[in-house]
Chain A
Amino acid sequence: DTEVTQTPKHLVMGMTNKKSLKCEQHMGHRAMYWYKQKAKKPPELMFVYSYEKLSINESVPSRFSPECPNSSLLNLHLHALQPEDSALYLCASSQGGFGATNEKLFFGSGTQLSVL
């Protein structure tokens, strides 16, 4: 299994809703990432979990709340989002812990989020 699986693929939510994005990998990778990507821009790092501990929070607003229940799962809880938060949210994993030598990222297919 060489896949990173993300659900849902599409999500439309209102500004008062609470929703969660889910990510799963069974490659035994020890680092998992959330990225946000706007159209025609590169992916922008949000959070990194390394060995199930939060290693990086790129000053992300608290309306985004990550969770890593175990080494295979990563969630992103969303609450009171703004329309400008509409974007493609990508999960990724890498084999070693964060910052390991020559680490390659494997991305999930993303969740296209629209906030109304």
Chain B
Amino acid sequence: RKEVEQDPGPFNVPEGATVAFNCTYSNSASQSFFWYRQDCRKEPKLLMSVYSSGNEDGRFTAQLNRASQYISLLIRDSKLSDSATYLCVVTRVGEKLTFGTGTRLTIIP
């Protein structure tokens, strides 16, 4: 089993819709969780950290479910500019970051 697993997609979603994707992780000792977005041929950029209590940043909501060992990302009222690959990242103190393979999202006009 991979350490961090994501549905690669692609998710093709009409503009204005809500889309959600999950990421599962295998190491129950994982402590820190992040979502990064990466545009084609560009660098990954931190979208948000993910906390047990959940967190929201505008149209984006991230949740952590430790019992089932997954994190989720919800995007509401999707925009064309949300088209990107979303990378799930998991780590713990003293360890390197482990990246998921990414979920490709395309918002369709």
Contact = CB atoms under 8 A, between A and B. Distances in A.
Interface of A: 40-43, 45, 48, 56, 88, 90, 98-110, 112
Interface residues of B, number: 21
Query: Taking chain A's interface residues, is the majority helix, strand, or loop, or is none over half, making it mixed?
Result: loop
A63 to B, nearest CB: 22
Q: Which 4 A-B pairs have the closest CB atoms?
A: A42-B99, A107-B43, A99-B94, A102-B32
A107 B44 contact: yes
Nearest to B92: A99
A112 B99 CA distance: 20
B1 interface: no
A88 B31 CA distance: 28
A45 B45 contact: no
A41 to B, nearest CB: 7
Contacts of B87: 42
